[in-house]
């Protein structure tokens, strides 16, 4: 899993504006052995198998089998400040295999849909939302869309994190600590609203023709976090808050 970060702004001894831009990537290689594929699961593994040619099943091409593939949760944002949205792009290889029917219409052998959902804590999740796919069937199957949290879901959270930032705490901009403080006050807070995007998960549902195999899936997540930032009282806290969002509720 790859991650790229770009920090715009300067962290100084007083509160300042800072923007962190990031890109996280999850790559699934179905040409590896099944035991080596740990970032997704799929339906009927006793029937839909993995070979050096990819994920699929052996059979006549005029027969199809329903299937699903679901990824592990992928963390985005920073350990001290989560994202409020992300642009999602998912590509499925190999290329589509267009077929021209008797009436001249073109369709694809590998029909299916791609969905994504998000969670603040890897426990409570949004509903699945479908990603869009370009109409051009000659290209690789590529899906894209935006996960964006409505303001109404963020209002109470922003009020509480603002309250936390005015307290005498080790790091007023540490939202991981703020979330723990909020849940001490209101244990069911995240059950009632999902105010930010800590984790993203994809799910593919469709049908596979006999002898048709999926070789690779690549998900890219582009995001940014920003706003007022105050440095921690102990500068070493930056070292202990490296990496993406990591908070998980029980």
- Cα 196 to Cα 22, 29, 39, 86, 122: the distances in Å are 16, 30, 23, 10, 12
| Confidence tier at 6 by pLDDT (50, 70, 90) | very low
Q: What pLDDT is recorded for position 250?
A: 79
Backbone angles phi, psi at 124, to 5 degrees: -105, 130
132 and 145 in contact (C-beta within 8 Å)? yes
pLDDT in tens, 167-221: 999 999 999 999 999 999 999 999 999 999 999 999 999 999 998 899 999 999 9
Query: Is domain 2-152+196-240 given the CATH code 1.10.10 in the classification?
Result: no
Contact between 119 and 231 under an 8 Å Cβ cutoff? The reply is: no
31-58 pLDDT, tens per residue?
999 999 999 999 999 999 999 999 999 9
Give the SS3 label for residue 19. strand
Which conformational region is residue 227 in: left (phi greater than 0), alpha (psi within -120 to 50 degrees), or beta?
Answer: left
- For the chain, give the percent of residues with pLDDT over 90: 76
Structure-token pair, residue 185: 């006050």
Q: Is the pLDDT of residue 106 over 70?
A: no
What's CA 50's distance to the chain center, in Å?
24
User: Averaged over 70-78, what is the pLDDT?
Assistant: 98
Please state, in angstroms and rounded to a whole number, the distance separating the CA atoms of residues 246 and 198: 8
Quote the pLDDT of residue 18. Answer: 72
Angle between helices 151-165 and 175-185 in degrees, nearest 10: 100
pTM comes to: 0.88
Q: Which residues contact 91 (CB under 8 A, 6 or more apart)?
A: 140, 141, 142, 143, 216, 217, 218
Determine the pLDDT at residue 95: 55
Give the residue from 201, 249, 226, 220 showing the smallest Cα distance to 9.
226
Tell whether the model's pLDDT for residue 131 goes beyond 70. Answer: yes
Q: φ, ψ for residue 113 (rounded to 5)?
A: -130, 155
Closest C-alpha to 218, from 73, 34, 1: 1
Q: Which helix (H) or strand (E) holds 177?
A: helix 175-185
Show me where the domains of the chain are located.
Answer: 2-152+196-240
């Amino acid at each position: 899993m790859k991650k790229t970060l770009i920090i715009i702004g300067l962290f100084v001894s007083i509160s300042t504006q800072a923007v962190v831009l990031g890109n996280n990537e999850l790559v699934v290689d179905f040409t590896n052995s099944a035991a080596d594929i740990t970032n997704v699961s799929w339906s009927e593994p006793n029937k839909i198998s993995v070979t050096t040619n990819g994920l699929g099943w052996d059979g006549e091409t005029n027969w199809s089998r329903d299937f699903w593939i679901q990824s592990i949760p992928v963390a985005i944002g920073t350990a001290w400040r989560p994202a409020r949205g992300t642009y999602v792009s998912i590509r499925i290889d190999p290329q589509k295999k267009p077929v021209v029917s008797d009436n001249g219409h073109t369709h694809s052998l590998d029909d299916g849909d791609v969905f994504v959902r998000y969670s603040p804590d890897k426990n409570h999740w949004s509903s699945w939302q479908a990603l869009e796919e370009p109409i051009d069937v000659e290209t690789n199957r590529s899906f894209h869309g935006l996960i964006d949290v409505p303001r109404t879901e963020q209002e109470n959270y922003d009020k509480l994190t603002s309250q936390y930032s005015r307290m005498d705490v080790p790091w007023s901009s540490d939202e991981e600590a703020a979330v723990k403080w909020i849940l001490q006050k209101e244990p069911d807070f995240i059950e009632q609203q999902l105010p930010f995007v800590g984790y993203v998960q994809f799910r593919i549902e469709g049908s596979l023709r006999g002898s048709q195999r999926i070789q690779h899936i690549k998900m890219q997540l582009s995001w940014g976090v920003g706003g007022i930032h105050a440095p921690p009282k102990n500068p070493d806290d930056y070292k202990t808050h490296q990496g993406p969002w990591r908070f998980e509720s029980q």
